[in-house]
Structures are given as structure tokens and as C-alpha cells.
Structure 1
Amino acid sequence: MVSAVRQLNFRHIGYFAHSINLVVQNSLANISEIVSKVKKIVEFFKRSSNALTKLQSTQAQMGLPLLKLKQDCVTRWNSTFDMLKSIICIKDAVISTLALLQSSIDTLTPEEWDTVDKAILIFQIFNEVTIEVSSEKTVSISKKIVLVSSMTATVDTYVNDISLPHAVHQMAVSLKSELPTKTV
């Protein structure tokens, strides 16, 4: 049995979460400039206690929940997802605070904010699947098939959505092309 698996070049099921990471990391290249801008904004608030205090004050004044911006870790795509999601949740407070502080940090354009927002929608399914498979010691083949089918179906809806920003559409196309080859 082991010999047959080797001869047929099947991947070990344990690589599934890692494969998802690789697929998503590759697709992130389509929005790398925007992700880089977001990283700089997050780092600005992490490094400056004055800016962070002002951000928290602005969130409170706007009636937003007091959320912290999350930094990403290069090796874990879902930390990038968390970073993008956290900045979108307090977008208005971030924009206002940067303007009040007259920061030299490049802020995102309205189109870039839209790109981040749409990218989060696409990555949501990948985040859920990553959490699901990371919580288990082993993932059965049948479960893997269902999860890949679910990710593929979700990505298909975005590949066919002509209203998406170009970079997000390219990201969806990248995900669609790599999902079957890297995760099966």
C-alpha cells in the first residue's frame, strides 16, 4: 500500500494545511503592494504609543469596538488575513487618526480599501478550512475532498464576478488554478 502511494505520487494528508498556505501565499502576490502598505500602517501604530492611544480614542469617539490592529507573520498566510480583517474593522478610525496625526505614512486609496475588503471575502473560506484542519491531528481523505470542493466553489463565484477589483480577480484566478494541483 505504501509503495502504491509512493508510485502514484500522492501527497501525505498531513501536508494539507501547508498546501493551503502555499496556495494562498502565491495568490497574495497579486495584492502585495497593498499588503505592504497595510503592514506599514499597522507597524506605525504598534511602534508609536501616542498614535495607538489616539487610535483607541478615535475608535471610542466613533462608537467602534476597541479592536487592536494585528501584525502578520510572513510564514503564516492567515496572520495576513487577520491583519487585513483587523484594519478593515476599524478602517474609519485608522483613516481619521492618520489624518489627525498628519502622519507621513501612505494611506490606502478608496480602491485599495475596496481591494482589501474583497480579498477578505475570498480568503474567509481558506481561513475557516485552515482552522478546521489545524485543529485535527489527521484529516481524512473524504473530509479533504469536501473542503477542497468547498474552497473551489467559493473561488469560482469570485472568478466569475466582473465587479471585483482587477487585483482581487487575479487573486481568485490564481487560487482557482492552484487549488487542484497543490491540495490534492
Structure 2
Amino acid sequence: MAKEIREWIVAILIALAVVILVRMFLFTTYSVDGLSMDPTLEDGDRVIVNKFIYDISDIDRDDVIVFDSHQDASYVKRVIGVPGDTVEMKDRVVYVNGEALSEDYVVHQGETYLDNFTLETLGVEGDTIPEGQYLVLGDNRPVSRDSRDFGLISESDIIGEVQLRFWPFNEIAIDF
């Protein structure tokens, strides 16, 4: 009986160690708080974030990421501008490198908070986004706190890419 109990304890400890290692280095879960990514991600959605993806690939425009805000909670936003890009918004249209973005995921355009901006008005020196910096915007622009509020985000603050919405179960998704 004592041998069986020890075997169970060892198995449980190994399982816990594996779970802890996976959560620390590979994947983690986040709960979406607020409406800034609506309709892509809604308040209360639960997502899995791949923490190691950017160790093996580049951060791309349109990636939905989680990053540390250093103010309060972590944020979920969409990457709009990457290093070397010029970005501006005029009349509710975002232009990257002079071309208008097709943003089917932005549906809330009748409200107020859709400020025009340039990189200069966001406090960026020069004409392009510097290395290691990214411009992020929420999909629900009227209510989103994003690069229009706090400027560019640093690559070192990016926790990972949202790769799966698993809650609610009837809205499981992998393509954002």
C-alpha cells in the first residue's frame, strides 16, 4: 500500500512539474477584460497565448498579441505597425506605408474615439517605427486604449500571440 501511494505522489508531482513548465515557457491562458477587441474577442472570452512563437518567428502585422502594460493588467491588441513601417490614420482609415489597410475586423466606426494620428503625434522620432517597437490598436477603436494612448510598445513587453479562443465553447476559434 505504501509503495502504491508513493507511486501516485511521484506521478502527481511529475504532472504538476510538466504543467508548471508548460505554463512558464510555452503557453498560458488569459481572460479578455473589456470591449476593446470586440467583435474579434469579447469581454469574458478565454484565450490561449503562445509564449514561445516569437522565439522562432517574427512578429507580423495583424497578429493579435498580449503584452504587459506596466500600468495595470496585460492588454490584448492587434499589431498594426512593425519596425520600418510608416503608419497614420486619416478619416478613420489606417494607412501603413502609404496604403490603406483593409480592416474587416473593425466594425465600430460610428462612435467618437477614432482619432487621426501620425507617428509624430504618437511621440515617435523619425518617419518610421524603430527597431524593437510596435504600434498596436484595438479592433473596437472608439473604446480601445492602445498606441494612441500610450505610444509604441516594446518587443520585450510582448508576452505572446493569441492562438486559440477556447471559451465560450460555442465560439472556439483559431483565426483572428
Normalised by the length of structure 2, the TM-score is 0.28
Normalised by the length of structure 1, the TM-score is 0.27
Q: Which has the higher strand share?
A: 2
> Larger relative CO (CA 8 A, sep 6+): 1 or 2?
1
